[in-house]
Chains A and B, each alone.
Chain A
Amino acid sequence: MISSTRAFLFIGVCFCLLKPLYPKTEFPYPGDRPNGITLHAFVGGDIQVTPEKKIRRGTLIIRDGKIEAVGKNLKIPDGCREWNCTNQTIYAGFIDPYLLSGSENPKFLELNHDEHIHATADLSFHGIPSTGQDPGEKGPGFEVSGVHPQRKLMDGLQTEERKWGKLRKFGFTSAHLAPSEGIFRGTGPFVLLSDQEPNELILKNEVSQIIAFDPVGKKSSPPVYPVSLMGVLSVIRQTILETKYTNERARFESKNPVNLRLMPHTGVRALSRSLGERKSIPIWIEPGSCLMNAKAMEIAQEFELNNPVIIATGDEWRNPKISLSPHHDYILPMIFPTIPDLPNPEDWEQISLDQLRAWDHAPSMARLLNEMTRTISFTTSETEPGEFHKNLLQSIARGLPENSALASLTTNPAQICGVDKICGTLEASKLANFFIVSGETYFTENPRIESTWIQGRPFFHYPDQGVTDSNSTEKRNEQTSKLAQHPSRLNKPVLRPTSVLFSGFNLWSCEEESILLNHDILIENGKISKIGLNLKTKLPKGCKVILGKGRHLTPGIIDCHSHAMILGRVNESTLPSTAMVRIADVVNSESINIERQLAGGVTICNLLHGSSNPIGGQNAVIKLRLGESPNKLIFKKAPQGIKFALGENVKQANWGDKYTTRFPQSRMGVKMFFQNRFGAALFYEKKLKNAAEQGLPFRRNLELDAILEIIRGKRFIHCHSYRQDEILVFLRTMEGFGVRVGSLQHVLEGYKVADEISRHGAGASTFSDWWAYKFEVYDAIPYAGAIMHERGCVVSFNSDSPDHARRLNLEAAKAVKYGGLSEMEALKFITLNPAKQLGIDPWVGSLKVGKDADIAIWSGNPLDYRSRCVQTWVDGILFHEIEASAERDKKRADERLSLVTKAQQSLKKEISIEPSEKAKSKFFRYSLESACDLYPHSCRSNENHAQCLHQ
């Protein structure tokens, strides 16, 4: 892997060296001011040749823009212009490896939650050849918004003297100009930060293909695909697949005579250079959030992308273990959130631990990344150079070694940009890019930079004598410390015994028998191994014993309809079929809802796409293993599933007057839409078989792949539905394709067609008593669960809300109240029945020997309002224990208080540099991982779900 990267670097460097390195104004035209001579010697100063090597009172000789020699006591060539550098230090010019460019006000990607859900019309289905208008990019190329790998920033390059001049004053001499728009953004050049003609500046035409996880579709009006994070990830997959397919087909056609050859379009051609064997242009990824770093690495592995450089957000403290990797190079922005000066003591109440942690971790991020990644480089993007410098010093004060800081500004960026043969150090034959600072070091509060030299040309800075007193150039060694903790300190199991005996509990087995009073249950290696009376006599060695004392023990609660741990939008609300998007891509392992729901006895959630489209995205069934990574939360044995939806939401009935042209707009069209997509999938299957038989390259389509899996019985449909007519029509339509529906979700009029649902064999996952929030639920009744149960349906109650998920046991109690069900049957509505609906009942959902030890313990009858969930176990691991959880809450409260004190004290200190607006507002921005907890989504309302739960 590394060797191929090196090979590429070498090619890149050769390419550079072919260019004339010396300005063409060698012999000035009459009237032009001639440049100075190009032979210089810098004598008597300290020379920081590399981050590790410093020469005391050395000599640096440059000729024609390149370094000729560096060392101690060098012979100075005749005719040299000599510069006395006594009491000065010379550093290699700094390199910014990710200077955002290409738009008026380029910004880092900040993934965040928006309050509103939008959708749009007039779209073809992504991935289906030649349908309708081009929904995305104009002109040739990929037909999806933001996918323009062919764009080259180099083509429109202009100097940005206002910005670059400021950077030079802080020692920057070159940069990679990174494109800032789109998903596949294209490439940018590596340039000198000089004021010459653009042609003179480019050292390398294309550094890398930038992929950003940017839901670009939401910037359009009306919004277009993709607006969600999972949509972006699907776009990335489909685009890479398309490119690979085109190349395969081109290869195939070159070997087999064909009449009309496939002409790969410009997008494919551009992206091909980053895929396949050769990979002449590496891929860099800007994931936009901590958890998405891990996803970027996964995608890279999935498509063999050679460990791309990752652009960090500075939020990696949330989960360093999965967001940082020793196999990747990282680029770190230096935007530190600034604590505001709040007028009243009460105002501090509004400041959360999360905000304070982000503030306190910021200066420590450089050190953390430096320790945990292959290399780290800094970028000045979106910071003022002065602010960048201040933050750099803060990072050093938090323990980033100075030589690492230097490497992050010189050798590391040079290496990742593939210019390490010509930039990054002051070794002979490299470009004469450097700067000269007064005194012994650059790392002072107010470094006095005398001059910056780019390719042997000087820029003098004339530092203001008044401001710079002698003290400020003195080095400050004051170390600061971090108070904020990583979330992982508290997000972890309480206990992990190999075996546990629960002795003397009232067991709600949810199997044939009724409540087993005063029974024992033995857990070994995460599974239920014995149930009976008096199991105490033969216990495994070291078995932990927990005494029931009249308490109740139930299977862990299974929530068959949840959106509580999903990142970056629950709905890809643009296309009517989004079968290609995957909730598994955007599971929020950092969500606070995990522990809140564990505290209510929940052990499994069915995370579903929203209900905006007839065919929504693929679901993810997760176990609430607090503290584990998104991938480890996923319940691997659970059959795959997909969200479908009917009725008002999919026909955009409550979306406003703008949304009247997407098909379908009526229940008539909803039925036809399913027939269309299933028909398309069958046609696709035929082509697939045909291609396989004839050995032809096949164009994969992720949407139809998923629908085909449904037809083949490998993917369960979970269909949001309300009215009796649409329920029947949907069941019959699916029967027409030989498909049995896994579960009908909400299914509020299901009680009217319970016999038909039962005969079809679909599960019914409903609410206990919600109704009348929109017209199609005017006939919803709380007796529905009981009626459907009586008529043979497998019925569950779900939450569809992070609030209800905290108290599903009490929701189940309503089945006793309204339907007169037995208490055990009612409890099955939230345990065994949802397990059946999800196809996971062989492993979970009841207390049965051999099943997973997913267990909730209650202080009293779980259907009684006076009871509390005292313990929750997943796979035999204790994740919630009432006292331990309270202790954890207290630790967080204490941490918050101490951080408030620290923040208040820091405000009293003098602030040398006015923080930028960006830094001030950053304090009030929520990271993706936390924003998604603040705006809970519910299928009950699709117009403004935030309002739904907050009003």
Chain B
Amino acid sequence: MGETTTLYRAKKIQVTPSQFFQPGEILIQNGKIRAIGNSIKTPKGCKIIEWKNSEIYPGLISPGSSLGLAEINALRPTRDLSEVGTHTPAIEAWVAVNPDSELIPVARANGITHSLIIPMGGMISGTSGLLQLHGWGIEEMVIKKRVALHLWWPGHGLSIPQPSHKSKTKPKSIADQDKERIKRITEINEYFDQAIAYQKLKQSGDQSFVQIPSWEAMIPVVEGKVPIMIHADESRQIKAAVQWAQKREYQIILSGARDSWKHADWLAENKIPVIFRHIFSAPPHRSSPHDYYFKAPGILARAGVSLSIGLPLGGWATANQRNLPYHAAHGVAHGFSREKALASITIEPAKALGMEKEMGTLQVGKHATFLCASGDILDLRTRVEKIVIQGIEVSVESRHTRLNQRYKDRPRR
């Protein structure tokens, strides 16, 4: 990391979502922030960088993507984002990240400095890692392993399909379907109970103990050392998932959370962090208003929920991670304050991922990870001009800027 001391001067520095210096100065040393303010006393030998027409923001944190795991989603050889099996807690998403994915610099060029890399497939899909979008190889880039265990809550939907004359079986009744969904929760409990039993057996030193990778991966989870990110969208799933976690006293993060705004007060009261990924989802019913989900972030934030904004998960959204600030921005015209919108892509995801001491704001002592932009980072017209990650100025070039340059310069025909 950078040994020298560097001072950046900017038109404005957004320290936290609610605090800024205009004009601002930020002093960094060894990749950390040493001082910040309107005007800082410049140490001897300090390098001074003038960004006088620009604004500095903390690096943006994407609370979930398949960056590095999916290159071109339509092409199977380039997909590593999902694994076979319904219960695979030992799967580690960060081990398969391609550090030279073309998608990474593209995301970074718009100020995304970190993304949680989430494994997919099955009900318990494994654990995620936090990727810093700069570094030589995955060992430098993965700055936190085992951020969370990922549990994809089973669906609660009820429906009666068209009776088919091909299959002789009658469609399942609503009552039977209800029984089944209760059974599925019982099965989740059983899996966690088995993990606890395994952990106790291991502690007891009994000779019958055999080391099993899946159960090993569950130990930090049942011991409460690794939180569980529960992916649940519908009201029914959200309620069931939160109640399940409360009963078992697990720390959870709610992800997806499409209907979470309907339970905003309850989620705030129970201090459940929420990652909302549905601002641009189609409203659920034809009769639902066009802005049904545009309003959701505002409702959640005003209720006091600790709210992050993310893109939908999966391969299709990977290439669009750069649009994270616009997913947050879209709530602003619909009751989401600009301050909370900024928080939802900086300090809130940092908190949810247990990294608030290192990142998320530009307070002294944290990583010197920030971006410099031509204006408001939430504005779609704003250009990101520079990126600094842990004190190192990182290129904002990408496949896109290279191709742009090449063809802009093509001689006229």
**A and B are partners in one complex rather than unrelated chains:** yes
B72 is contacted by which of A592, A770, A773 (Cβ under 8 Å)? A773
User: Per-position contact with B for A921-951: 1 when CB-CB < 8 Å, else 0?
Assistant: 1011100001001101000010100011111
Per CB-CB distance, the 8 closest pairs between chain A and chain B, nearest first, are: A951-B314, A774-B74, A596-B290, A353-B287, A813-B380, A772-B319, A352-B285, A889-B289
A781-B400, A920-B160, A921-B171 known; A951-B312 Cβ under 8 A: yes
Give bound CA distance, A889 to B330, whole Å: 20
Q: Does B158 contact A (CB under 8 A)?
A: yes
Query: Which residues of B (324-374) have their CB < 8 Å from a CB of A?
Result: 326, 329-330, 332-334, 338
Q: How many residues on chain B are close to A (CB under 8 Å)?
A: 72
Residues of A near B175 (CB, < 8 A) are: 341, 343
CB contacts under 8 Å to B, within A596-624, are 596, 599-600
Smallest CB separation, A945 vs chain B (Å): 10
A783 contacts across to B, CB distance below 8 A: 400, 403-404, 408
C-alpha spacing A866/B381, complex, angstroms: 12
Q: Which of B161, B282, B380 has the most CB of A within 10 A?
A: B380
Q: How far is the CA of A787 from the CA of B400 in the complex (A)?
A: 13
A343 to B235 Cα, complex, angstroms: 15
Could you tell me the distance in whole angstroms from the C-beta of B411 to the nearest C-beta in chain A?
9
Which A residues have a C-beta under 8 Å from some C-beta of B? 104-105, 340-344, 346-347, 349-350, 352-354, 592, 595-596, 599-600, 648, 654, 751-752, 754-756, 759, 769-775, 778-779, 781-783, 787, 790-791, 802-803, 806-807, 810, 813-814, 816-817, 823, 859, 863-868, 885-886, 889, 892-893, 896, 917-918, 920-921, 923-925, 930, 933-934, 936, 941, 943, 947-951
Q: B288: which A residues are within 8 A, CB to CB? A: 889
Stretch at the interface among B146-154, B162-170, B205-213: B162-170
Instruction: Assess the A752–B312 pair: CB atoms within 8 A.
Output: no
Q: Is the CB of B379 within 8 A of A865?
A: yes
* Contacting pair B333 A866 (CB below 8 A): yes
Instruction: Given contact pairs A352-B286, A771-B400, A790-B408, enumerate 8 new A-B contacts (beta carbons under 8 Å).
Output: A105-B165, A343-B174, A344-B178, A783-B408, A885-B289, A920-B171, A921-B160, A921-B161
Is the pair B286, A770 in contact by a Cβ cutoff of 8 Å? no
Instruction: Among A346, A755, A949, find the residue whose CB has the most chain B CB atoms closer than 10 A.
Output: A346
Alpha-carbon gap, A599 to B334, bound state (A): 13
Q: Are A354 and B285 in contact (CB under 8 A)?
A: yes
Q: Which residue of B has the minimal Cβ distance to A648?
A: B74
Interface pair B329/A346, CB less than 8 Å apart: no
Find chain B residues with CB under 8 A from A350 CB: 157-158, 234
Contacts of B413 in A (CB 8 A): 755-756, 759
CB distance from A449 to the nearest CB of B (A): 28
The reply to whether B319 and A773 form a contact with Cβ atoms under 8 Å apart is yes
The residue that B316 contacts in the complex, of A344, A893, A933, A951, with Cβ under 8 A, is A951
A-binding residues in B (CB < 8 A): 71-75, 102-103, 106, 156-163, 165, 170-171, 174-175, 178, 234-236, 239, 259, 280-291, 312-320, 322-323, 326, 329-330, 332-334, 338, 378-383, 399-400, 403-404, 407-408, 410, 412-413
CB distance from A73 to the nearest CB of B (A): 53
**Given A770-B320, A791-B412, A951-B316: A342 in contact with B381 (beta carbons within 8 A):** no
A847 to chain B, nearest CB (A): 22
Contact of A787 with B407 at beta-carbon distance under 8 Å, contacts A864-B379, A865-B378, A925-B162 already known: yes
Q: Is B73 in contact with A774, judged by CB distance below 8 angstroms?
A: yes
Check if A775 sits within 8 Å of B72, measured CB to CB.
yes
Contacts of A810 in B (CB 8 A): 326, 330, 380
Q: Would you mind naming 24 contact pairs between A and B with Cβ atoms under 8 Å apart?
A: A343-B174, A346-B156, A346-B236, A353-B287, A595-B290, A599-B291, A755-B413, A769-B320, A773-B74, A774-B72, A783-B408, A787-B404, A787-B408, A806-B290, A816-B381, A892-B287, A893-B287, A917-B163, A920-B160, A930-B286, A934-B282, A941-B74, A943-B74, A950-B281
Contact residues in B for A347 (Cβ distance below 8 Å): 156, 158, 236
| Bound CA span A352–B103, Å | 39
Alpha-carbon distance between A343 and B178 when the two chains are bound, in angstroms: 7
Contact residue among A340, A596, A889 (Cβ-Cβ distance under 8 Å from B160): A340
A203 vs B326: C-alpha distance when bound (angstroms): 70
Taking a contact as CB atoms closer than 8 A, the residue among A340, A596, A782, A892 that contacts B158 in the complex is A340
Task: Using known A-B contacts A346-B235, A353-B285, determine if residue A654 contacts B161 with beta carbons closer than 8 Å.
Answer: no
